[in-house]
Amino acid sequence: MSIDIAVVGSCNVDLVVNVDSIPTVGQTVLGGDLRRIPGGKGANQAVAASRLGKSVAMIGRIGDDENGKFLQANLEENDVNTEFLFTTPLIPTGVALISVQHDGDNAIVVSPGANSELSPEDVVNVPPIAEAQVLLLQAEIPIETVLAAAQTAEGTVIWNPAPAPNESVPLELLDLVDVLVPNQQELELLIGNGSADNLESIFAMAKTFPCSSTIVTLGAQGAVVVASNEAVHIPAPEISPVDTTAAGDSFCAALAGSLVEGKDLVEATQWAVQVGAATTLIAGAQPSLPTSSEVLQRLEDR
């Protein structure tokens, strides 16, 4: 099949509890019922792109366990190609522990499991990566695998450096990235100093990367597109979020899909901001991911 978007990244089971407020160090709080939800930044972006009408292949690793079977079945139910979703013996499927407080903000701890076993050798000879119009990458897999996938790609490379890597990012990777998509905190961590607390500082920091363009997501404030030595702020709709867990993932998927359609970066970001906002109006990572028709309907109904 022809692939619009190849996603190389993580597959996790999200274990989610709603709480009145996220606990501080040493604090215990009571929460709601535990929910098991398909997740992982890679899988979220793959499902989001598929629901938005694009043909998608997911490249990653799961464990040879019930959680892995659960995630693979969910991807296939969402029309995502899993031919190159590899099973890893003796290593469990990745798990994310997520607390979601009343205003939609969240705290997440990830146990990578099989995601850490996705190697450069797993991605260098994978046809969907070379053939896709857009390659979507994140940072929940080893950085050397991210680099190998970017080297294999023939199409547009989007890297969402989330969570921000603890290790230094190879300049070779940044040279291969066409669109870098950090949030404010990830931008600060990638730079290593400075504060991205206003549009001027965000613009100055984003210009330091060798990438063709950078889009900095700002949550409720929308996003900033930095390209061709110019910065454009795209505001977000005013909403009352329920769960922000998958907002960044749906943003990246919508951005990739718009670039497949030939939209420019500003147009693509405008749509991505709307999709990200609509995602926050429904609880759960993948359950919240909308189809194209649901985006506008959710925003109209908010």
Residue 231 domain flag: yes
What CATH number does residue 167 fall under?
Answer: 3.40.1190.20
Contact 247, 234 (CB under 8 A): no
Question: Nearest CA to 179 among 153, 198, 201, 200?
Answer: 153
Residue 25 domain flag: no
Contact 16, 106 (CB under 8 A): no
pLDDT digit string, tens, across residues 61-103: 999 999 999 999 999 999 999 999 999 999 999 998 989 898 8
Higher pLDDT, 56 or 283: 56
Which tokens belong to 264? 């420019």
Look up the domain containing 67 and give its range.
Answer: 5-19+34-295
Q: How far apart are CA 246 and CA 45, in angstroms?
A: 9
Is the pLDDT confidence value at 259 over 90? yes
Residue 139 domain flag: yes
Q: Percent of the chain scored above 70 by pLDDT? A: 100
Q: Would residue 249 show up in a list of annotated catalytic residues for this protein?
A: yes
Q: How many domains does the chain have?
A: 1
Catalytic choice (33, 122, 249, 301): 249
pTM: 0.93
